[in-house]
A = this chain, B = another copy of it.
Amino acid sequence: MGGGFAQENGMAAIDQRTEELTQALRTAGVRITRQRKALLEVVAGAEDHPDAVELHRRAVEKMPGISLSTVYRTLTELEAQGVIQRLQFEGEAARFEHTETDHHDHMIDVETGEVVEFRSERIEALQAEIAAAMGYEIVRHRLELYVRRKPSGG
C-alpha cells in the first residue's frame, strides 16, 4: 500500500500522513490529481527538509512529467492549509516539512547544511513574556541556530 519495498517500519505512518495531507486538500476543495497525489506521497515520506526542486525531483519518479510549477502551487496550497511548513533559511531556497503535532525550531549545521529540530518550552515561554512586556502578542516566530559541531577534546 505504501508503494515499493522500503523498510517495513514507518510505512504505515507515511501512508497515514499522506492521507492527512490528502484530506487537507479535499477539505480546501481542491482536486486530487495524480500529480498532487504523487507529491503528497513524497512530502509525507520526506524525513529531511527538502526544497521545491528536490521535492520535484522525487515526485517525478512517481509521476513523470509533473512540472515544477505544479509542485510550487501545491506546496503553497498545503502551506495555506497548515499541513506543511515553509522554512526560509539564510540565503537558501525555501525548504518544506510536514507539520508534525508539535512545534519546533531549527538548528542548521553551517558546515554540513544538516538541519536538526529541537524545542524548548522555556524559550517559548520567555518569548511570550518578552512580547507581552512590550504590549505585543506573538503571531508566530522564527528561531534558527546556525551551529558547528563542537570539538570534543580532539
Contact = CB atoms under 8 A, between A and B. Distances in A.
A137 B150 contact: yes
B147 A137 contact: yes
B139 A148 contact: yes
A146 B139 contact: yes
Copies per complex? 2
Contacts of A30: none
B107 A142 contact: no
A126 B127 contact: no
A53 interface: no
Contacts of A130: 107, 118, 120, 123, 145
Interface of A: 88, 90-91, 107, 109-110, 116, 118, 120, 122-123, 126-127, 130-132, 134-150, 152
